[in-house]
Chain A
Amino acid sequence: MLPIDIRPDKLAQEMLDYSRKLGQGMENLLNAEAIDTGVSPKQPVHSEDKLVLYRYDTPEGVTPGAVPLLIVYALVNRPYMTDIQEDRSTIKGLLATGQDVYLIDWGYPDQADRALTLDDYINGYIDRCVDFLCESHGVEKVNILGICQGGAFSLMYASLHPDKVNNLVTMVTPVDFKTPDNLLSAWVRNMDVDLAVDTMGNIPGELLNWTFLSLKPFSLTGQKYVNMVDLLDDPDKVKNFLRMEKWIFDSPDQAGETFRQFIKDFYQNNGFINGGVKLGGREVDLKHVTCPVLNIFALQDHLVPPDASKALKGLVGSKDYTELAFPGGHIGIYVSGKAQKEVTPAIGKWLNERS
């Protein structure tokens, strides 16, 4: 038997099928119309500069807990990943468990935001959102759920303001930035971040996208479009694909000074491990994080390897530390069917037991 035995007639048939699917798929692509993102009803309750704090509507029949849950998303990409479609929504799952969910939308920084620093984000924006929630709910502390870079922000915040954080959930959050399998960290180490920020002002989302797609260029910029052809005859699948495609390429620019500090303090100097991160004149020390911590990571995460997240254990001062390993990837932890069944209910249960 030949190892490669593609009969000409079969090859012709494959190409015929491929082209037919493309042709027929055009119909579904045209009918897909505008791609909606963020499906759960929400209201803006507070805003400052380009930041908008949203409160999600509590579903009928659910009584929300007294302590609000603030979601701090990364500055990279857009937070609607957490609420991307009706049947794949972390937000919806959290609401169902009785959380009063708030989410910070950082907006799209432009050159006028270039001088924003990490201090402005952590001790400024996040702290004022927390104050707003404490005041409006009549509580002294809130629950925080930090996602990816937003998890690192939440850790810094909880370290500097331990009196305002009731419970902390970190999801796919990098803590040790120099694990051997962290490609991003290895690449960034040789980058002259001062030159990049001094030149560009803000760091363009396109540059970050290129970096992320370069982690798996053939799968992420080639093969997936071949796979897409197989979905073209299903309008719902086409729409879901396009929704994800939009999210992937919907990359805000990064405020230059914040990017400079984040890359230097964490990717280059591994600040959570080695110390030396100072915000507003105060040192970030994870030993000051004394509230209960739930640390969730994805076992097949190629952006934030599991070991990068698991390093949190032993660094925080909390006596109530829990880990949850999810068998999936960096995105799957929000959008996969398995995550809806396993991750979100687990977060809700963990919070309810401690609120």
Chain B
Amino acid sequence: MSNDTFFNNDWLDLQRKYWDSWSAMSRKAMGQDGEANMTAPWEDALNHWWKALSPAAPDLSRSFMEKMMDQGKNFFRMAETFSNRPDDGTATNGVAYWTKALEDMQKQFSGSLDDGGNAMQRMMSFWELPLDNWQRMMSSMSPMPGDFLRNMPHEHFKGNLDRALSAPGLGYTREEQSQYQELMRSALDYQAAQQEYSNFYSGLGMKSVERMGGYIQEVIDSGKSIDSARALYDNWVRCCESVYADEVATPEYAAIHGRLVNAQMALKKRMSILVDENLGAMNMPTRSELRTLQDRLQETRRENKQLRQGLNALERRVAALAGETPVSATPATALKATAPATKAPARRRATKTDPTE
């Protein structure tokens, strides 16, 4: 590693020393044999470590490492939830403990457990990953954050809003009023579709807990045990993925998925119409006009290329009839200059939202 970066050997040594001391302290706190019951501040420690490290990390590495930190937190949360051993360490109480943990997970998904934002609540956010993926993707395609409607009240105001949006526009600006009403309606429709999508996943979360319970029962029956955070996390992911695979193959999900995408597109379309209206008002070319030109241009190019192809074929035939050598009968040789393919810069960086918060 070069010395002109922050991450030189000195820093790594420092960082290792920090962890060594932390580890020693935590072992001491738990007792030499590690049997003492302790609610370990795993996530706080991991966060503390990352806060010390991340500001100096280059952007590229930082975002990548953050992904790994996020997932690391997920599997330590899982372990935190399940690893608090009962005081007497008996198998009976142990079974009771994880049964309660599973019940708490189910309550969390059904919204009936508020544990003050502790590990259980944060762990449940794991199932928000698909929704988070959608929001990040939408952020990259939109001038607004992907979750801009997520926390807006919907049901409470829906009736009043519907009435207001149904009111006919009047006077000289009637059309404009109508367009803004359509925009609001599309936004509400999208919000409803997003809510429906989110609700679908909370249902799956409960099913995953059930499947995890089944898996734990299999572990009991086999006489084995899960003894690492990683094994616990991997099995949780496996349970979630298998439940997800079952459920997203249903017609119900296909319909929800379709409504989400369609509602988003309808909202974007309303926005585009308004943008075009404003561009037109400023006497600037609109997107609609550009598309008409693109279509006409492509038609012309298509015809030109077909004509040129036909002409070349005719030339070859004539040359063959005249006994001449075709113009090109040698193996392909390199073009002198061809610009490498590159993608246009991203329209907008995906909004970073922490699924764990």
> Which chain A residue has the least Cβ–Cβ distance from B298?
A115
B133 close to A187 (CB less than 8 A):
no
A199 close to B72 (CB less than 8 A):
no
Residues of B within 8 A of A218 (CB): 126, 129, 237, 240-241, 244
Contact with A along B209-251 (1 / 0, CB 8 A): 0000000110110011111111011100100110011001101
Q: Do A44 and B335 contact each other (CB < 8 Å), given the known contacts A120-B302, A207-B141?
A: yes
Closest CB-CB distance, B245 to chain A, in whole Å?
8
B40 close to A229 (CB less than 8 A):
no
Contact with A along B114-147 (1 / 0, CB 8 A): 0000000000001001100110010011000000
Q: How would you classify the secondary structure of chain B's contact residues: helix, strand, loop or mixed?
A: helix
Q: CA–CA, A8 to B258, complex, Å?
A: 46
Q: Of the candidates B57, B240, B245, B341, which one forms a contact with A105 in the assembled complex, judged by CB atoms under 8 Å apart?
A: B341
Most buried by B among A7, A31, A181: A7
Total contacting residues, chain A, CB less than 8 A: 93
Whether a CB of chain A sits under 8 angstroms from the CB of B51 is no
Q: CA–CA, A335 to B213, complex, Å?
A: 37
Q: Considering the complex, which residues of chain A in the window 210-262 have a beta carbon less than 8 Å from any beta carbon of chain B?
A: 210, 213-214, 216-219, 221-223, 225-226, 228-229, 250, 252
Q: Do A12 and B27 contact each other (CB < 8 Å), given the known contacts A22-B72, A26-B57?
A: yes
> Which chain B residue has the least Cβ–Cβ distance from A32?
B61
Q: Do A3 and B216 contact each other (CB < 8 Å), given the known contacts A52-B341, A183-B249, A217-B129?
A: yes
* Interface-side segment among B77-85, B168-176, B278-286: B77-85
Q: Do A135 and B329 contact each other (CB < 8 Å), given the known contacts A5-B227, A30-B5, A44-B335?
A: yes
Q: Considering the complex, which residues of chain A in the window 1-30 have a beta carbon less than 8 Å from any beta carbon of chain B?
A: 1-16, 18-20, 22-27, 29-30
Q: Of the candidates B5, B12, B91, B329, which one forms a contact with A2 in the assembled complex, judged by CB atoms under 8 Å apart?
A: B91
Q: Of the candidates B1, B35, B46, B140, which one forms a contact with A206 in the assembled complex, judged by CB atoms under 8 Å apart?
A: B140
Q: CA–CA, A107 to B262, complex, Å?
A: 28
B227 close to A6 (CB less than 8 A):
yes
* Interface-side segment among B63-71, B105-113, B148-156: B63-71
Q: CA–CA, A185 to B212, complex, Å?
A: 29
A2 close to B1 (CB less than 8 A):
no
Q: Of the candidates A114, A132, A209, which one forms a contact with B294 in the assembled complex, judged by CB atoms under 8 Å apart?
A: A114
Q: CA–CA, A205 to B312, complex, Å?
A: 36
Whether a CB of chain B sits under 8 angstroms from the CB of A274 is no
Residues of A within 8 A of B38 (CB): 8
Q: CA–CA, A105 to B341, complex, Å?
A: 8
Q: CA–CA, A217 to B49, complex, Å?
A: 28
Whether a CB of chain A sits under 8 angstroms from the CB of B15 is yes
Q: CA–CA, A204 to B335, complex, Å?
A: 30
Most buried by A among B45, B233, B343: B343
A6 close to B226 (CB less than 8 A):
yes
Residues of B within 8 A of A59 (CB): none
Whether a CB of chain A sits under 8 angstroms from the CB of B167 is no
A217 close to B133 (CB less than 8 A):
yes
B268 close to A199 (CB less than 8 A):
yes
B12 close to A24 (CB less than 8 A):
yes
B241 close to A216 (CB less than 8 A):
yes
Q: CA–CA, A3 to B262, complex, Å?
A: 45
Closest CB-CB distance, A72 to chain B, in whole Å?
16
Whether a CB of chain B sits under 8 angstroms from the CB of A128 is yes
Closest CB-CB distance, B103 to chain A, in whole Å?
15
Q: Considering the complex, which residues of chain A in the window 102-133 have a beta carbon less than 8 Å from any beta carbon of chain B?
A: 102, 105, 107-108, 110-112, 114-116, 119-120, 124, 127-128, 131-133
Contact with A along B1-44 (1 / 0, CB 8 A): 10001010000100110010011001100100111111010100
Q: How would you classify the secondary structure of chain A's contact residues: helix, strand, loop or mixed?
A: helix
Q: Number of contact residues on B: which range applies? A: 35 or more
A23 close to B53 (CB less than 8 A):
yes
Closest CB-CB distance, A330 to chain B, in whole Å?
16
Residues of B within 8 A of A120 (CB): 298, 302
Closest CB-CB distance, B349 to chain A, in whole Å?
11
A30 close to B294 (CB less than 8 A):
no
Closest CB-CB distance, B279 to chain A, in whole Å?
15
B94 close to A3 (CB less than 8 A):
yes
B232 close to A4 (CB less than 8 A):
yes
Q: CA–CA, A192 to B332, complex, Å?
A: 44
Whether a CB of chain B sits under 8 angstroms from the CB of A189 is yes
> Which chain A residue has the least Cβ–Cβ distance from B344?
A110
Residues of B participating in the A interface, judged by any CB pair closer than 8 Å? 1, 5, 7, 12, 15-16, 19, 22-23, 26-27, 30, 33-38, 40, 42, 45-46, 49, 53, 57-58, 61, 64-65, 67-72, 74-76, 79, 82-83, 85, 91, 94-95, 98, 126, 129-130, 133-134, 137, 140-141, 216-217, 219-220, 223-230, 232-234, 237, 240-241, 244-245, 248-249, 251, 254-255, 257-259, 261-262, 265-266, 268-269, 272, 287, 290-291, 294-295, 297-299, 302, 305, 309, 312, 326, 328-335, 338, 341-344, 347
Listed from nearest, the 7 A-B pairs whose CB atoms lie closest are A190-B258, A9-B34, A43-B334, A115-B298, A44-B338, A2-B94, A45-B332
A6-B229, A200-B141, A225-B67 are known contacts; what are 7 more A-B pairs with Cβ within 8 Å? Answer: A2-B94, A8-B36, A14-B230, A24-B12, A30-B7, A111-B290, A207-B141
Would you give 8 A-B contacts (Cβ < 8 Å), ordered by A?
A15-B45, A16-B22, A18-B72, A23-B12, A26-B53, A30-B1, A108-B343, A128-B309
